[in-house]
């Protein structure tokens, strides 16, 4: 073992994983909404776009999600930390939390949307996986509403959203810090042989090409673009076009390839 390393108890490692704290909304059998704070939430799939939560079996919300086959995930800003934490301390079995947040009507029944949260998401339950003490609920994202003040070109700006990051380190709610590097780019020029960074990522990496004989014009390419959805437009025949003249705005991650339901996109130089 490395001389600088010490062995740590398994549970203490939870301190290393900072996650975005969310509020899970569900409708109880009495018809009232309930709100639970959950830190163990992460994206589950690009296609279909899905999120997952891990929830301890004892939570009242779990049975409500199973009954309704729906739930909501909302992301509070730091300004809402007291309410968020209150929702985590108090169980809906003992405390009526139905008026803790203002809700607005959602096309999906069973998914109460939260007015005060900068991002609020209606999910239909797509998978339910059981473990010893916890359950995983995978939610297909059906509707997303965000405050216009935190969106840029139709995408959420994480820094403007100002989330409450949770870690067992402390435990703590941490603030999101500054951006320091670009994924699918900063490592593009890394040369393992010389262990130095040699060239910029974008120069040498393939970018999307559309086979218009296959494209059905559904727009999934723009929908799955993580960098700049405006790189994608539809031509006069209704086929997707990639703005090759703006290729440097593309991070070349290949999510459009994965997002295309008819395999019309490939990455080439």
Give the CA angle between residues 21, 183, 211 to the nearest 5°.
110
How far is the CA of 190 from the CAs of 178, 186, 187, 198, 252, in angstroms? 23, 8, 5, 6, 16
Task: Give, as ranges, the residues between 96 and 135 that touch a second copy (CB under 8 A).
Answer: 97, 99-100, 104-105, 115, 119-121, 126-127, 129, 131-134
3 or 236: whose CB is closer to a second copy? 3
By C-alpha distance, which of 149, 85, 88, 74 is closest to 116?
74
For a second copy, the binding residue among 141, 210, 250, 265 (CB under 8 A) is 141
- Residues 184, 205: Cα–Cα separation, whole Å: 10
> Contact between 175 and a second copy (CB under 8 A)?
yes
Q: Least distance from C-beta 123 to a second copy, angstroms? A: 10
> Contact between 81 and a second copy (CB under 8 A)?
yes
177 or 213: whose CB is closer to a second copy? 177
Q: Least distance from C-beta 239 to a second copy, angstroms? A: 20
Residue 102 is given by DSSP the state -
**Binding segment (CB under 8 A) for a second copy, from list 26-34, 93-101, 207-215, 233-241:** 93-101
How far is the CA of 225 from the CAs of 64, 208, 220, 222, in angstroms? 34, 11, 8, 5
Which token pair is 147? 């405050």
32 or 127: whose CB is closer to a second copy? 127
215 or 222: whose CB is closer to a second copy? 222
By C-alpha distance, which of 54, 68, 75 is closest to 120?
75
Binding mask 34-53 for a second copy (x = CB under 8 A): -----xxxxxxxxxxxxxx-
> Contact between 147 and a second copy (CB under 8 A)?
yes
63 or 191: whose CB is closer to a second copy? 191
Task: Give, as ranges, the residues between 199 and 238 that touch a second copy (CB under 8 A).
Answer: 201, 205, 222-224, 226-227, 229
At residue 48, the 3 state secondary structure works out as coil
For a second copy, the binding residue among 84, 210, 215, 265 (CB under 8 A) is 84
Q: Least distance from C-beta 172 to a second copy, angstroms? A: 4
- The two most distant CA atoms of the chain are separated, in Å, by 65
**In contact, 234 and 240? CB cutoff 8 Å:** yes
- Residues 177, 119: Cα–Cα separation, whole Å: 19
| Phi, psi (degrees; rounded to nearest 5) at 209 | -125, 140
Task: Give, as ranges, the residues between 2 and 41 that touch a second copy (CB under 8 A).
Answer: 2, 4-20, 22, 39-41
> Contact between 179 and a second copy (CB under 8 A)?
yes
């Amino acid at each position: 073992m490395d001389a600088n390393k010490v062995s740590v108890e398994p549970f203490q490692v939870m301190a290393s994983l900072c996650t975005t704290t969310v509020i899970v909304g569900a409708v109880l059998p009495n018809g009232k909404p309930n709100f639970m704070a959950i830190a163990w939430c992460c994206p589950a799939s690009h296609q279909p776009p899905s999120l997952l939560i891990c929830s301890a079996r004892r939570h009242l919300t779990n049975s409500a999600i199973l009954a309704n086959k729906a739930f909501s995930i909302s992301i509070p800003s730091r300004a809402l930390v007291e309410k968020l934490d209150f929702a985590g301390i108090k169980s809906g079995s003992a405390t009526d939390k139905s008026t803790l947040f203002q809700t607005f009507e959602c096309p999906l029944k069973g998914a109460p949307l939260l007015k005060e949260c900068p991002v609020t998401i209606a999910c239909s339950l797509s998978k339910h996986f059981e473990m010893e003490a916890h359950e995983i609920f995978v939610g297909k994202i059906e509707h997303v509403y965000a405050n216009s003040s935190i969106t840029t070109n139709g995408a959420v700006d994480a820094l403007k959203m100002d989330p409450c990051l949770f870690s067992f380190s402390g435990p703590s709610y941490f603030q999101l810090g500054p951006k320091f590097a670009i994924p699918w780019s900063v490592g593009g020029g890394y040369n393992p042989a010389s262990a130095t960074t040699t060239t910029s990522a974008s120069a040498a990496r393939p970018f999307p090409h559309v086979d218009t004989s296959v494209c059905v014009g559904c727009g999934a390419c723009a929908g799955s673009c993580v960098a700049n959805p405006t790189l994608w437009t539809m031509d006069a025949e209704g086929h997707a076009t990639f703005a090759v003249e703006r290729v440097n705005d593309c991070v070349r991650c290949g999510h459009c390839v994965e997002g295309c339901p008819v395999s019309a996109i490939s990455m080439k130089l």
